[in-house]
C-alpha cells in the first residue's frame, strides 16, 4: 500500500509534548487569573450558522471564513453560501450566546472563553489559520459602569505578572477623547473622525512622518497646523498616574465628547490605582485607537517593554452594544483578548519560553521484572499524593531508562534495586540538580513533595 | 435592521456558565489523573487534510465527515473531495502525529489528548455533532509489552473514582481469546470470526435470544450446538480475580490464538491487582468485543453499576499497528477514550450532576460608593490568596446584590459597611449554610481559606 505523507496544513501550530506543556501552563495561568477575578467559563461550538456569524462583518472577514459542509451537503450546485462556518473570533459567538441565553444569565455577565478560532489567512510566517483566543468580557444590561473599564487592566496586570514574560505596560486611551479632540480641530464628520483615528493608530508602527504626510495628503487634506496638533495629541504618553492626570488636563477644554472621554479616562486611571496596579505598569498612550469600528470608549493595548517588536499582546476596549444584530436589548460591554498561539510563538522565537520541564515528576525504573509489584505499589503511593509518576513496564538497561527520563524532561528517577528493597530505602536521582540521594521508603513521598513544591514556588 | 435569530445548530451541547463549570471540573479531573499516570499532553489541529484523515476509514465515517473550504476555494466546480476536513476522532490525528514527529518522540510514547471531534450525525436526541473525546494511548516502537494493557484499567479506576459518579466496573476481554475460541469451534476464517465477534458484542444490548437466532440464521448458518457454545462462552462474567482466573482455565485447551489470549488476559488481570485496582471494580466479560476491526488483543468497556442503560462510559483496547497508512514503522499501542460530552449529558439527564457551585468564591458587596477603594483592596487580598472574588462595581440595593450572588451560585458574600469599617471587621454571609458571621479584617483570608479547603476536600 502506498503511504500517505503525514502532514498538517500551513498556519497551524502543532507542538511536541514538552512545548505543549509550556503552552498549557500559559493557558492555565490565564484561566486561573480570569477565574480569580470572578469571570465564568463559556464554551461555544466551533461551527456556527453562517448567517449568524456573518451578520456584521465586512468583506475582509468574509474572505477569510472557513465554510463547513457535511458529506451530504457537498456537490449540491447553486447553493450560494454554505449553511455552516467556523467561528473567526470569540466576540460574535459571545454576542450570539448572550442574545440566545439572555433570560438565563445574570447581568453584569462576566465570562471568559478560551478556545480556538479559524481564519483562512494567506500562508505566511507568523500568520495562523487556527489560533487560541483567551477573552474576557463584562456585559451589562442597558448600562455598564465605566468602573468595569478599570477592572480589565487589573486582570491584565494579574495575568502577565504571573506569566512572568518580562516587564509590560498596559496602554490606555479613550475613543471619545480622540474623536472629541478631532472635532475641536474642525473634523466634525463621524466617518472622517474614524478614518483619522485609523491613521494615527499606525503611529507606533509607521512613525510620525508617515502619519503627518497622510493627514496632509490628498486623502485627508488637513492643514499642516491641524496635522501638527493631531500629532502632538497622539504623541502624549504618561509616566505616572499624576503625570497622566496632568497631561489630560493640559489638553485644554473641548467639546462634549472630549470632556466625557477625559472624565472617563480620569475615573478609570484613578480606579486602576485602587485596584492595586502599580504605576510602572500602565500609561496613557493617546495614539492607541484599535482598528475596529466597534469600540466606543476606553481602549487598551499591552506591550512588552523589552520586546516592542512583538506589538500588542493583549488588546480590547469598551463597546456600546454587543448584540444589536440578534436582540433589541441594549448590551454594552468591555473586554480584552489574548491571542495566545501567536504570543507563544513569538515568545518562543525570542527565546523566552522554557520547555525543559515535563508534567511527569518521577520515573520509577525497573531493575528486576519480578519486583514489578513493588514498583507499582511505590508509583501508586506517589500518585496518591498527587505526584505524577511513570513506571517503566518494559525493562531494559538501567542506563537507557535514565536516558529516557532525561530526554523526556522528567526530573526524578526512583531506583528500587535488590539492595534498596532489602534495606527499605529508595535511591533517587535528581536529573535537574545532577544529584543523587537515598531516602527511607516511608519518607519518599514527603521528601519529593517538598522538593516539587519548592520548585513550583520558584516557577 | 431585521434581527438574525440567535441560535446554534442541532447536535451541539452549549452550556450555561454553572453547567460549564461542572463540565470543566470533569475535564480537570480527567486531565489531572491522566497526568498523574505520566501521560503527556498533545493537541492537534481541528482541520486536517482530507486525504490524511480518510486513508483508512470506510464508507460510514466518510458519510459523516465535515469538509472545510475557505471562501476562496468555494464554488470552484469539479473539485471532488475538498482538500480539508474536520477530525472525526482523535485516533487518526494521533497516528498522523506520531508518524510525522516520530524522530522527536520518546517511545513508549504516552500521550493524552482532550479535544473536540466532529461528525455529521443525523440530528437526534443524544447524538452529538461536536463532542469532547478524552483519550490516552501508549505507543510502542516495534513492540509494546502487554503490561501496558494492565496500566490502562488503573488509569480508568483512578479517573472514575475521583469523578465520583457512582460504582463502576471495568470489563475486560481479549480478542485473541475470542477468535481462538471461535476457531476451536470450526470458524477458521478471519472475516467470519470478525462477523461473529460483532454479533456477540450485541449480547448485553439485544439479549441472548437475538444473538442465538442470528448465529443459527441464514447469514451465519452455525449449528445449534456451536451457537450454544458461543453463547455460553460470551456469557462468562467474573466476580473476583481468582474467579476470573478460574473461569479462564475452565474454558479448556484451544488453538494457539486462544492460548495467547488467555495468557495475556491472565497477566493483565494479575497486574491490574498489583496496580491497586480493587476486585470490586473490574471483571471479565467475554462478550465485550468493541465494533472496530482495529483492536487485536485486550479490549475494555466501563459501565456504571447503577446505570447500565448509559452503556460504556470509557472504552478502548490494544491494536497491532497505529500508523501503517503513514509510516513503515511498526507502532503497536493500547488506549482508551472517554466521550465526555455524551457522558456529561447522560449524567445530567440522570440527575447525577450538581450544578449549584460557581467558580466564584466570594462576592464583595458595595454599600457606599465612596468606599470602593476599600472594597477593591479587600478583593485584592482575597485574590492574592487564590480566592476567586467578584466586586460589585455598580452598587444598587444590598438585597439585589445578595440575590445576584445566590442566583450565580456564589457561596460567600462579604459586607463592609460603615460599621464594619469602623470596627475593623467584615460581615460574611455564607449562602450555602444560610449562616452569617463576623470576622476581624485581618483574619478574613485565613477563615475563608479554611472553609473553602474543607468544602473542596468534601467534594
Chosen for mutation from B31, B64, B66 (greatest number of chain A CBs closer than 10 Å) is B66
Q: Is A456 exposed, middle or buried (0-12, 13-18, 19+ CB in 10 A)?
A: exposed
Secondary structure class of B47 (helix, strand, coil): strand
Q: What is the nearest CA distance from B245 to chain A, expressed in angstroms? A: 18
pLDDT (tens digit, 9 = 90+) per residue, B431-447? Answer: 999 999 999 999 999 99
Q: Which residues contact B210 (CB under 8 A, 6 or more apart)?
A: B202
Q: How many CB atoms within 10 Å of residue A122? A: 10
A296 and A429 both lie in a single domain: no
Residues 311-350 of A with CB under 8 A from B: 323-328
A221-235, A330-344, A417-431, B44-58: which has the minimum mean pLDDT? B44-58
Whether residue B453 is contained in a domain is answered as: yes
Whether residue A102 is contained in a domain is answered as: no
Q: How far apart are CA B54 and CA B152, in angstroms?
A: 28
Residues 259-318 of B with CB under 8 A from A: 271, 274-276
Whether residue B297 is contained in a domain is answered as: no
Type and span of the H or E element at B193: helix B190-200
Task: Name which of A449, A375, A363, A366 is nearest A409 in CA terms.
Answer: A363
CATH of the domain at A419: 3.40.50.800
A296 and A389 both lie in a single domain: no
Q: Which of A316, A349, A382 is the last residue of a domain?
A: A349
Q: Walk across the sheet containing A389-391 and list its strands.
A: A389-391, A362-364, A412-415, A425-430, A435-440
Structure confidence at residue A123 (pLDDT)? 78
A455-459, B41-45, B165-169, B214-218: which has the minimum mean pLDDT? A455-459
Q: Which residues contact A229 (CB under 8 A, 6 or more apart)?
A: A185
A235 and A119 both lie in a single domain: yes
Mean pLDDT of A134-142: 98
Residue B397 belongs to what domain range? 362-457
A140-154, A197-211, B266-280: which has the minimum mean pLDDT? A197-211
Q: Is the pLDDT of residue A302 over 90?
A: yes
Beta carbons of A64 and B70 less than 8 Å apart: yes
Q: What is the nearest CA distance from B118 to chain A, expressed in angstroms? A: 9
- Please indicate if any CB of chain B lies within 8 Å of the CB of A14: yes
Structure confidence at residue A41 (pLDDT)? 97
Nearest CA in chain A to B51: A4
CA distances from B178 to B231, B241, B248, B258 (A): 12, 20, 12, 7
Instruction: From chain A, pick out residues whose CB is under 8 angstroms from the CB of B15.
Output: 42-43
Q: Which of A349, A374, A394 is the last residue of a domain?
A: A349
A334 and A382 both lie in a single domain: no
Whether residue A90 is contained in a domain is answered as: no
Beta carbons of B389 and A37 less than 8 Å apart: yes
Instruction: From chain B, pick out residues whose CB is under 8 angstroms from the CB of A144.
Output: 394
Mean pLDDT of A390-415: 93
Structure confidence at residue B78 (pLDDT)? 52
Q: Is the pLDDT of residue A292 over 90?
A: no
Structure confidence at residue B405 (pLDDT)? 94
Q: Which pLDDT band, with edges at 50, 70 and 90, does A205 fall under?
A: confident
Instruction: From chain B, pick out residues whose CB is under 8 angstroms from the CB of A323.
Output: 6
- Please indicate if any CB of chain A lies within 8 Å of the CB of B63: yes
Structure confidence at residue B41 (pLDDT)? 97
Structure confidence at residue A80 (pLDDT)? 75
Structure confidence at residue A57 (pLDDT)? 56
Structure confidence at residue B279 (pLDDT)? 97
Structure confidence at residue B122 (pLDDT)? 83
Q: Does B294 appear as a known binding residue?
A: yes
A292 and A398 both lie in a single domain: no
Structure confidence at residue A2 (pLDDT)? 87
**Is A397 within 8 Å of A365 (Cβ atoms)?**
no
Q: Which of A349, A384, A412 is the last residue of a domain?
A: A349
pLDDT (tens digit, 9 = 90+) per residue, B90-103? Answer: 999 999 999 999 99
Structure confidence at residue B61 (pLDDT)? 61
Chain-centre distance for alpha carbon A11: 18
> How many domains are there within chain A?
2
Mean pLDDT of A147-159: 98
Instruction: From chain A, pick out residues whose CB is under 8 angstroms from the CB of B45.
Output: 8-9, 12, 14, 130
Chosen for mutation from B36, B379, B394 (greatest number of chain A CBs closer than 10 Å) is B36
Instruction: From chain B, pick out residues whose CB is under 8 angstroms from the CB of A64.
Output: 70-71
Q: Is the pLDDT of residue B307 over 90?
A: yes
Buried b (16+ CB within 10 A) or exposed e, B10-37: ebbbbbebbbbbbbbbbeebbbebbbbb
- Please indicate if any CB of chain A lies within 8 Å of the CB of B399: no
Q: How far apart are the first and last CA of chain B?
A: 49
Q: What is the nearest CA distance from A220 to chain B, expressed in angstroms? A: 31
Mean pLDDT of A361-390: 95
Q: How far apart are CA B106 and CA B93, in angstroms?
A: 18
- Please indicate if any CB of chain A lies within 8 Å of the CB of B356: no
- Please indicate if any CB of chain B lies within 8 Å of the CB of A457: no
**Is B321 within 8 Å of B332 (Cβ atoms)?**
yes
Whether residue B292 is contained in a domain is answered as: no
Give B277-346 as a DSSP string: --GGGEEEBTT---S-TTEEEEEEEEEETT-GGG--SEEEEEES-S-TTT-SS---EEEEEEEHHHHHHH
- Please indicate if any CB of chain B lies within 8 Å of the CB of A106: yes
Instruction: From chain A, pick out residues whose CB is under 8 angstroms from the CB of B69.
Output: 66-67, 69, 82
Beta strands in B388-445 (DSSP E): 389-391, 412-415, 425-430, 435-440
A183 and A254 both lie in a single domain: yes
Q: What is the nearest CA distance from B209 to chain A, expressed in angstroms? A: 37
CATH of the domain at A191: 3.30.930.10
Portion of chain A with pLDDT greater than 70, in percent: 96
Q: Which pLDDT band, with edges at 50, 70 and 90, does B62 fall under?
A: low
Whether residue B407 is contained in a domain is answered as: yes
Task: Name which of B100, B85, B8 is nearest B48 in CA terms.
Answer: B85
A396 and A451 both lie in a single domain: yes
CA distances from B241 to B15, B156, B244, B283, B325 (A): 42, 17, 5, 8, 39
A343 and A377 both lie in a single domain: no
A378 and A255 both lie in a single domain: no
Structure confidence at residue A293 (pLDDT)? 76
Beta partners for B49? B84
Structure confidence at residue B1 (pLDDT)? 67
Nearest CA in chain B to A393: B147
Mean pLDDT of A420-428: 96
Q: Is the pLDDT of residue A62 over 70?
A: no
Buried b (16+ CB within 10 A) or exposed e, A94-115: bbbbbbbbbeebbbbbbbbbbb
Instruction: From chain B, pick out residues whose CB is under 8 angstroms from the CB of A8.
Output: 44-45, 48-49, 96, 100
Beta partners for B412? B362, B430
Q: Is the pLDDT of residue A243 over 90?
A: yes
Beta carbons of B326 and A21 less than 8 Å apart: no
CA distances from B280 to B151, B166, B167, B270, B283 (A): 17, 13, 9, 14, 8
Structure confidence at residue B58 (pLDDT)? 56
Q: Is the pLDDT of residue A78 over 90?
A: no
Whether residue A31 is contained in a domain is answered as: yes
Beta carbons of B326 and A5 less than 8 Å apart: yes
A323 and A228 both lie in a single domain: yes
Secondary structure class of A386 (helix, strand, coil): coil
Residues 144-203 of A with CB under 8 A from B: 144-145, 147-148, 151, 158
CA distances from A23 to A30, A163, A165, A167, B186 (A): 11, 11, 13, 20, 55
Nearest CA in chain B to A387: B36
Beta carbons of B84 and A9 less than 8 Å apart: yes
- Please indicate if any CB of chain A lies within 8 Å of the CB of B230: no
Task: Name which of B107, B21, B83, B8 is nearest B359 in CA terms.
Answer: B21
A329 and A424 both lie in a single domain: no
Mean pLDDT of B276-300: 92
Q: Which pLDDT band, with edges at 50, 70 and 90, does B60 fall under?
A: low
Beta carbons of B36 and A4 less than 8 Å apart: no
Beta carbons of A47 and B16 less than 8 Å apart: no
Structure confidence at residue A186 (pLDDT)? 95
Structure confidence at residue A65 (pLDDT)? 93
Mean pLDDT of A104-130: 93
Residue of A77 and A175 predicted with greater confidence: A175
Q: How far apart are CA B231 and CA B141, in angstroms?
A: 37
Virtual torsion, Cα A31, A34, A37, A43, nearest 10 deg: -100
Tally C-beta pairs within 8 A across A and B: 288
Chain-centre distance for alpha carbon A64: 21
Mean pLDDT of B29-51: 97
Mean pLDDT of B352-368: 89
**Is A188 within 8 Å of A179 (Cβ atoms)?**
no
Q: How far apart are CA B85 and CA B92, in angstroms?
A: 12
Whether residue A304 is contained in a domain is answered as: yes
A305 and A231 both lie in a single domain: yes
Look over chain A and give the mean of its residue pLDDT values, rounded to a whole number. 93
CA atoms within 13 A on the CB side of B220: 26
Q: Does B142 appear as a known binding residue?
A: no
Beta carbons of B20 and A4 less than 8 Å apart: no
Structure confidence at residue B56 (pLDDT)? 67
Q: What is the nearest CA distance from A77 to chain B, expressed in angstroms? A: 9
**Is A297 within 8 Å of A318 (Cβ atoms)?**
yes
Q: Does A290 appear as a known binding residue?
A: yes
Q: What are phi and psi of B47, to 5 degrees?
A: -90, 130
Mean pLDDT of A48-65: 78
Structure confidence at residue A357 (pLDDT)? 85
Instruction: From chain A, pick out residues whose CB is under 8 angstroms from the CB of B9.
Output: 45, 47-49, 84
Pairing of strands A168-174, A282-284: parallel
Instruction: From chain B, pick out residues whose CB is under 8 angstroms from the CB of A129.
Output: 47
Q: Which residues contact B59 (CB under 8 A, 6 or more apart)?
A: none
Beta carbons of B390 and A37 less than 8 Å apart: yes
Q: Is the pLDDT of residue A458 over 80?
A: no
Q: Count, in order, helices (H) and strands (E) of chain B.
A: 17, 16
Type and span of the H or E element at B35: helix B17-36
Chain-centre distance for alpha carbon B110: 17
Q: Is the pLDDT of residue A58 over 70?
A: no
Q: What is the nearest CA distance from B192 to chain A, expressed in angstroms? A: 24
Q: Count, in order, helices (H) and strands (E) of chain A.
A: 17, 16
Amino acid at each position: 500500500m502506498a503511504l500517505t505523507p503525514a502532514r498538517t496544513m500551513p498556519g497551524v501550530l502543532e507542538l511536541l509534548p514538552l512545548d505543549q506543556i509550556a503552552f498549557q501552563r500559559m493557558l492555565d495561568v490565564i484561566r486561573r487569573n480570569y477565574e480569580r477575578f470572578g469571570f465564568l467559563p463559556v464554551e461555544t461550538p466551533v461551527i456556527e450558522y453562517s448567517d449568524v456569524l456573518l451578520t456584521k462583518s465586512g468583506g475582509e472577514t468574509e474572505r477569510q471564513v472557513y465554510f463547513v459542509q457535511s458529506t451530504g451537503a457537498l456537490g449540491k450546485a447553486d447553493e450560494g453560501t454554505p449553511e455552516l462556518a467556523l467561528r473567526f473570533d470569540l466576540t460574535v459567538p459571545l454576542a450570539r450566546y448572550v442574545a440566545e441565553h439572555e433570560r438565563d444569565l445574570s447581568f453584569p455577565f462576566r465570562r471568559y472563553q478560551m478556545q480556538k478560532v479559524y481564519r483562512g489567512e494567506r500562508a505566511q510566517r507568523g500568520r495562523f489559520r487556527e489560533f487560541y483566543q483567551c477573552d474576557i468580557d463584562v456585559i451589562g444590561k442597558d448600562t455598564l459602569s465605566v468602573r468595569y473599564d478599570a477592572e480589565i487592566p487589573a486582570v491584565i496586570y494579574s495575568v502577565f505578572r504571573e506569566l512572568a514574560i518580562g516587564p509590560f505596560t498596559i496602554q490606555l486611551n479613550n475613543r471619545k477623547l480622540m474623536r472629541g479632540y478631532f472635532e475641536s480641530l474642525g473634523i466634525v464628520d463621524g466617518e472622517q473622525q474614524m478614518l483619522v483615528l485609523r491613521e494615527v493608530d499606525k503611529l507606533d508602527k509607521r512613525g510620525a512622518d508617515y502619519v503627518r504626510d497622510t493627514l496632509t495628503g490628498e486623502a485627508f487634506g488637513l492643514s499642516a497646523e491641524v496635522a501638527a496638533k493631531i500629532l502632538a495629541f497622539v504623541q502624549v504618553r504618561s509616566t505616572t498616574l499624576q503625570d497622566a492626570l496632568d497631561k489630560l488636563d493640559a489638553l485644554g477644554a473641548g467639546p462634549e465628547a472630549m470632556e466625557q472621554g477625559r472624565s472617563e479616562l480620569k475615573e478609570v486611571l484613578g480606579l486602576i490605582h485602587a485596584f492595586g496596579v502599580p504605576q510602572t505598569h500602565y500609561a496613557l498612550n493617546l495614539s492607541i485607537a484599535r482598528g475596529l469600528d466597534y469600540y466606543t470608549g476606553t481602549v487598551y493595548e499591552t506591550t512588552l517593554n523589552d520586546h516592542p517588536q512583538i506589538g500588542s499582546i493583549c488588546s480590547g476596549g469598551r463597546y456600546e452594544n454587543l448584540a444589536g444584530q440578534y436582540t433589541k436589548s441594549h448590551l454594552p460591554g468591555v473586554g480584552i483578548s489574548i491571542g495566545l498561539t501567536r504570543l507563544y510563538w513569538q515568545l518562543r522565537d525570542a527565546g523566552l519560553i522554557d520547555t525543559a520541564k515535563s508534567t511527569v515528576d518521577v520515573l520509577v525504573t525497573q531493575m528486576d521484572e519480578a519486583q514489578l509489584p513493588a514498583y507499582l505499589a511505590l508509583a501508586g503511593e506517589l500518585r496518591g499524593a498527587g505526584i505524577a509518576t511513570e513506571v517503566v513496564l518494559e525493562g531494559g538497561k538501567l542506563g537507557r531508562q535514565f536516558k529516557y527520563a532525561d530526554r523526556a524532561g522528567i526530573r526524578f528517577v526512583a531506583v528500587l534495586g535488590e539492595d534498596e528493597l532489602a534495606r527499605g530505602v529508595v535511591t533517587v536521582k535528581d536529573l535537574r540538580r545532577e544529584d543523587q540521594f537515598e531516602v527511607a521508603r516511608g519518607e519518599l513521598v514527603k521528601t519529593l513533595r517538598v522538593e516539587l513544591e519548592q520548585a513550583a514556588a520558584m516557577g
